[in-house]
Structure 1
Amino acid sequence: MKAVVITEPGGPEVLAYQDVPVPEPADGEVLLEVAATAVNRADLLQRAGNYAPPPGASETLGLECSGRIAALGAGVTGWQVGDEVCALLTGGGYAEQVAVPAAQLMHVPSGVDLVTAAALPEVSCTVWSMVFDRAPAADLAPGEAFLVHGGSSGIGTMAIQLAYARGARVFTTAGSAAKLQACRDFGADVAINYRESDFADVIRAETNGAGVDVILDTIGARYLEGNVASLATGGRMVVIGMQGGAVGQLNLGALMTRRASIYAATLRARPLEQKALIVAGTEASVWPLIEAGQVRPVVHEVLPMAEAAEAHRIIEDSSHIGKVLLSAR
């Protein structure tokens, strides 16, 4: 089969589409014929040599995919060869075939085509588990105020839609007029141009000083001070990215005064048991909203898998709105 291979750490040009061995599904796994995969910022970090896969994971890029089941490993029940699915992966999605634990499979929501379904697993599982699930995540409730940074990203577009659908007041940040309008179209009540305004000042004014109850942050250190200043009493901040740096100063006094909490986590390295629960919870809670038309996958562009380097350039340029997909067919 063919897969995208990192020939050496570096820029997008180090990605090559080459022949590699077909993976064998282990006990409890299935083999998927990949229809499409999606590009995530973690892929860019791994390509550059800054994000090694967890022990035992595939070295091939790709944290999610859609496709059809081609073979069942020993002990797999509830699925059949030919089933159309999407899957949360620990790696391996940039390929024509991938082996994945059956517990990380999800049905394709009705009304979503198989290629587009590749845009769903990573963002929906991340947002659901970090923002809406119960402890240790944020447990965002209807009527609360929610802030997500980078509202036009894959994570951002999903977070805005889910928060809006579940009755939260949604704040977001973005860097252009087109992206700000897209965020409003997805359900953001307040869209803040971070190039022109201090988001913390805007939130303070819009909430009469009360702040927001939950923050989903992909930026990290650069926004730490502003995020803490934006939290309401009892607020919860969930950090899932470090685009703005990993090390910052935390004002513990401000955090204590607000009786607030900060939670930081990734999804990729979690054990199978945890991922299985997240996948099941996401399908049970998010898929009905997709099938009802309240939430939709947002796809910026679909490129052939052989053009993975161009897809990485699009993500690095941050010109996209939603997800960039790679089609294997």
Structure 2
Amino acid sequence: MSATLLEHPAPLPTEGRAHGPEAPKAHLVPPEVGTLRFDPARTLWLWAMLIPGVTVGLPAATPTTVAVSLLLTVATLCLGHSVGLHRGVIHRTYEAGPLTRGVLAYLFVLSGLGGPLSWTRLHAVRDYWQSRPDCPRYFAYGHSMVRDFGWNLHLRFEPADGRTLVRLPSDVLTDPWLRFLERTWPLHVLGLSGVVLAALGPEAVALCVCARTAASILGHWAVGYAAHVWGERRYTLPGAAESGTNSWVLGVLSFGEGFHNNHHAFPGSARMGQEPHELDLGWWAIRALRRLGLVRDVRT
């Protein structure tokens, strides 16, 4: 599939886009593609973080706990999620030694978003179907944000077969460290809670762990929805049901992930912000790691 550059990118409409006249009546996921089930563990994790974070953490916020929370956000979402898991593990846009890759994966786990292999599998499945014209409703964005909140944050997708995982690097799903983190990821978040509790007290745990984790989950979901519905589309991808959008504000706030049309067009590129004004903090982090000799063979 090749991307086609549009000479004059136009803003997309603010309403959800239906994919074909029969989309509203179709199954969210056809049985031959996979199944969707309510995920009680995922739902409980989100709300168990959100409620104490809002009711206890935010009212008790201090300059110190806010600063610690922001530092953890940059470390876990920028270095852990965007640089480590998304660009490093899933798309292999650069090469790194096992120690660097392992530390970045651990930072992802401390974000509280979930297990690295669960996220890797779902990303591969979503990419596979969004690149096709027969994309199921669950992976497309022809619905409201409220409905997407219920679907993407409370349901679990199980693919019918492994064909959608072929895009992943061959060693990802068998990596011993990633498999260990997949099995134990909640324990590491709880361990971080213990460190924060000992250093700053219980209110800091509610802000630096609970509120931050909830904000990370909700922020990732919101950026994912908005970066497919609102913004500009520089490239068109023939035959793809979804090709993402670019939003400067979302791109900056999400460490480059909001330049999603660029990413759909060039998924193997470590740089998501292509133009000089597209501030991609994840790309800056990769450049810094390259100068330190921690990553190499960076693809753009």
Same fold (TM > 0.5): no
Point out the structure with the larger strand share.
Answer: 1
TM-score of the superposed pair, with normalisation by structure 2: 0.25
Point out the structure with the larger helix share.
Answer: 2
